[in-house]
C-alpha cells in the first residue's frame, strides 16, 4: 500500500512518510508510533528515551568539525487528526492511511492524510539517519497528543533538553517562517438532560446538515466555511417555534480543533405540521446553499422519516439548549491590528453530544491577545449559564510572542535567500504550536516553525504539495549547516 510514494523526491523523506501512513496514530493512541520511533532510534545506535509523559527524545552527536555549534532541537508531534468522510469505512486505531499521488499533491482516500505532522517527523528521521549531512548536536523531540491537548509539550520539564535553538517542523506554508502563534482555551458546557415522553400523533425525522468542507479551526477559520452545528441549529430554532418541533438528540462535530462538517438531530413534529415542516426545510436548504455557494458547494440539509425515539429532551431544556447554541459565537471575532491578514481572536463551536443524562457542548477559543480570549470566554459563559448549563474552561495553552529580532530568524532568512533567490516571509499563526508551551519552560530558546505546504489539515481534503517537500528538505539541511557556534 502507498508504494507509489517511494518514487517521489526526496526519497528518504517519502520513505519514512510512507511508513508513518501504515501506523495508526490518532491523538491519545500513539502507542504504536511511539514504539516505532523508539526502535528507530535504538537501531541507529543513538541515545533514545521516553519521558514520563510519553514523549520520545533521540540524541545525535555533532558531525566531525561541528561540535562547537549550538545544540538544535528538531521537534514534531507523533499524533494526527482522525477525520473521514461519512461514506468511508476506516478505523483510525487499526487501519493504515490510504495515501496516493494526485497530480502535484499527495492526499488520502476519504480520510485525513497525516502530513500534519508526518512531514516534520519524516524530515527529523531523515536527519537522524543521515551520514553525510553536516550538523551540530541534535536532539529530536517527538511529542504526543498535540492535536487534542498538547499533553506532550506540557509534560516537557526544564532541564530535560540541552539545546538552545528549537526548529519546530509543524507549519504549513513553504517559504514562510513562523515566529509567533495564538494561545487557546477549551470552553465546556454541560446541560443536565431530563426526559419526557413522545406525544401521540407525532412523526419522527432525522435532520442532517452535511457535505461541508470542514478544516482546521485556526488556519481555516477565516475562509468563511459553514459550521454544520450552526446550520442545523438555525433550522431547529425556526422549526421549534413555527412547527412545534421537539428534539430527542442532537449530535455534531468530533474534535475541538476541526470545523464540524456534519451534524444531525433526531426530532419529532406534530403530524398535522409535517407538510409545512418539510417544505420549509427545502426552502431553508436553498437559502443556506445560496449564502455559502462559493465556500460550500456540496452543502446539504435533509430530513428523512425515522423511527420514533424512546424519549424526548424536556421541553424547557430543549428551548434553552437550542437558544444557547444559536446564540453561541462562532468564527472570526477580530482581525489583528498588528499583523495584516492575521486573525486575532476566533472561536469554533466544535462538538455537541447528547447522552441520556447529559448534553455536552465544546468550543475551542483562540487568540493572540489573552484578554480578548478571556472576554470571549465570558461571552460564551454569559449565554450558557443563564440557560442552565454548567460552564468550565480547561486546556489553556499560551501563545508564542513574536520576536522579529530572533538570531535564528535572521540566519534562516539569509539561508533561504541564498538558496532560493528570494527572501522568505515571517509571520505569526492563528493556531496553536507547541512552541508557546515549550518556550515557557525554556525561555532562553530561539525558535522558528516552518514546513512544506499543506492544505486543508484536519479534514479529509488534507494534502501536501510534493514540490515543496523537496524545498523544505533542502532548506532544513542548509539551515543545519549554518547554525552558529556556541558563545
State how far the Cα of 15 lies from the Cα of 12, in Å rounded to an integer.
5
Report strand pairing: 56-60 vs 47-50: antiparallel
Active site residue 79: yes
Query: Could you give the angle at which helices 315-327 and 370-384 cross, rounded to 10 degrees?
Result: 150
Q: How far, in whole angstroms, is CA 324 from its chain's centroid?
A: 25
Neighbouring CB atoms inside 10 A of 307's CB total: 8
With cell 476506516, the residue in question is 90
Strand order in the sheet with 99-102: 99-102, 105-108, 463-465, 454-455
**Cell digits of residue 31:** 502507542
Establish whether 414 is a catalytic residue: no
Q: For residues 148 and 137, is the Cβ–Cβ distance under 8 A? A: no
User: CB of 359 within 8 A of CB of 366?
Assistant: no
Q: CA gyration radius for the chain?
A: 24
116, 145, 146, 251: the catalytic one is: 146
- Indicate which residue of 79, 173, 220, 251 is catalytic: 79
Instruction: Evaluate whether 455 touches 211 at the Cβ level (below 8 Å).
Output: no
Question: With contact defined as beta carbons under 8 Å apart, do 108 and 99 qualify?
Answer: yes
* Residues carrying an active site annotation: 79, 146
Amino acid at each position: 500500500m502507498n508504494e507509489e510514494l517511494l518514487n517521489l523526491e526526496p526519497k528518504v523523506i517519502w520513505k519514512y512518510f510512507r511508513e508513518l501512513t501504515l501506523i495508526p496514530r490518532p491523538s491519545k493512541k500513539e502507542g504504536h508510533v511511539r514504539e516505532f520511533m523508539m526502535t528507530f532510534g535504538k537501531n541507529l545506535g543513538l541515545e533514545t528515551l521516553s519521558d514520563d509523559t510519553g514523549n520520545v527524545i533521540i540524541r545525535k552527536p555533532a558531525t566531525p568539525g561541528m561540535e562547537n555549534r549550538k545544540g538544535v532541537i528538531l521537534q514534531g508531534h507523533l499524533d494526527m487528526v482522525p477525520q473521514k468522510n461519512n461514506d468511508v469505512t476506516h478505523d483510525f486505531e487499526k487501519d493504515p492511511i490510504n495515501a496516493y499521488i494526485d497530480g502535484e499533491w499527495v492526499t488520502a482516500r476519504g480520510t485525513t492524510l497525516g502530513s500534519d505532522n508526518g512531514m516534520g517527523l519524516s524530515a527529523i528521521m531523515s536527519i537522524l539517519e543521515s551520514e553525510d549531512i553536516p550538523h551540530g548536536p541534535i536532539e529530536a523531540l517527538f511529542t504526543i497528543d498535540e492535536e487534542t491537548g498538547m499533553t506532550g509539550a506540557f509534560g516537557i520539564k526544564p532541564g530535560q533538553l540541552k539545546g538552545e535553538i528549537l526548529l519546530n517542523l509543524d507549519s504549513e506554508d513553504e517559504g514562510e517562517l513562523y515566529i509567533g502563534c495564538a494561545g487557546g482555551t477549551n470552553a465546556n458546557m454541560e446541560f443536565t438532560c431530563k426526559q419526557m415522553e413522545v406525544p401521540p400523533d407525532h412523526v419522527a425525522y432525522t435532520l442532517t446538515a452535511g457535505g461541508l468542507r470542514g478544516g482546521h479551526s485556526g488556519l481555516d477559520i477565516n475562509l468563511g466555511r459553514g459550521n454544520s452545528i450552526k446550520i442545523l441549529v438555525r433550522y431547529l430554532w425556526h422549526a421549534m417555534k413555527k412547527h412545534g418541533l421537539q428534539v430527542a438528540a442532537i449530535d455534531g462535530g468530533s474534535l475541538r480543533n476541526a470545523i464540524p462538517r456534519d451534524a444531525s438531530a433526531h426530532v419529532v413534529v406534530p403530524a398535522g405540521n409535517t407538510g409545512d415542516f418539510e417544505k420549509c426545510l427545502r426552502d431553508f436548504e436553498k437559502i443556506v446553499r445560496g449564502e455559502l455557494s462559493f465556500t460550500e458547494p456540496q452543502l446539504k440539509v435533509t430530513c428523512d422519516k425515522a423511527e420514533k425515539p424512546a424519549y424526548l429532551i424536556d421541553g424547557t431544556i430543549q428551548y434553552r439548549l437550542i437558544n444557547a447554541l444559536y446564540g453561541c459565537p462562532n468564527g472570526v471575532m477580530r482581525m489583528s491590528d498588528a499583523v495584516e491578514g492575521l486573525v486575532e481572536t476566533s472561536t469554533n463551536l466544535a462538538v455537541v453530544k447528547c447522552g441520556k443524562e447529559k448534553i455536552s457542548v465544546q468550543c475551542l477559543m483562540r487568540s493572540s491577545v489573552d484578554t480578548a480570549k478571556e472576554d470571549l470566554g465570558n461571552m460564551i459563559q454569559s449565554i450558557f449559564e443563564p440557560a442552565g448549563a454548567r460552564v468550565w474552561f480547561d486546556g489553556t495553552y499560551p501563545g508564542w510572542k513574536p520576536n522579529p529580532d530572533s538570531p535564528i530568524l535572521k540566519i534562516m532568512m539569509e539561508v533561504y535567500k541564498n538558496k532560493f533567490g528570494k527572501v522568505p516571509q515571517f509571520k505569526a499563526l492563528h493556531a496553536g504550536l507547541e512552541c508557546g508551551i515549550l518556550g515557557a519552560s525554556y525561555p532562553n530558546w530561539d525558535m522558528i516553525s516552518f514546513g512544506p505546504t499543506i492544505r486543508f489539515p484536519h479534514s479529509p481534503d488534507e494534502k501536501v504539495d510534493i514540490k515543496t517537500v523537496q524545498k523544505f528538505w533542502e532548506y532544513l539541511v542548509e539551515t543545519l549547516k549554518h547554525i552558529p557556534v556556541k558563545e
